[in-house]
């Protein structure tokens, strides 16, 4: 009889411990979800502020280019400057140029790259 009560006590103690562990695990999951949600919100806020900053930089750069274009002396421009202005007026940039180079075959790409 004593062994039965000891076994029952151990069994009920194990069940109580299992319940505590389950509740603790649920609590930890809830805390982790809240922390993860907070981190995701911070990332979203950072991404939004970075986008605003990039737009601000682009606007300031555009204004600076306009200011400098009014003061530029076309007689003092070098050949590389004229070439750059020509490329920019056609809408090309370094990414489009590299993409165009990658589109050809290997021999053509090597020749184009070496001619740069």
pLDDT tens, per residue, the chain with 116 residues: 566 677 677 777 877 887 877 777 787 777 777 777 766 666 666 666 777 778 888 889 889 988 888 888 888 888 888 888 888 888 887 788 788 777 767 777 778 778 87
Where are the strands (E) in 10-110, listed by range?
none
Q: What is the DSSP letter of 91?
A: T
- The helix-helix angle for 106-115 and 94-103 (nearest 10°) equals 150
Where along the chain do its domains lie? 1-71, 75-116
Interatomic CA distance for residues 27 and 55, integer angstroms: 42
Q: What is the pLDDT of residue 14?
A: 79
DSSP state of 75: G
Which residues, including other chains, have CB under 8 Å from residue 112's CB and lie 6 or more apart? 101, 104
Residue-level pLDDT at 47: 65
């Amino acid at each position: 009889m004593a062994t039965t009560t000891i076994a029952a006590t151990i069994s009920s103690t194990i069940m109580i411990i299992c319940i505590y562990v389950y509740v603790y695990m649920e609590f930890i999951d809830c805390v982790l979800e809240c922390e993860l949600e907070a981190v995701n919100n911070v990332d979203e806020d950072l991404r939004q502020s970075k986008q605003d900053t990039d737009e601000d930089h682009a606007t300031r750069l555009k204004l600076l280019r306009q200011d400098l274009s009014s003061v530029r002396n076309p007689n003092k421009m070098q050949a590389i400057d004229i070439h750059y202005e020509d490329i920019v007026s056609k809408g090309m940039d370094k990414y489009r140029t590299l993409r165009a180079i990658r589109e050809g075959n290997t021999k053509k790409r090597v020749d184009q790259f070496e001619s740069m």
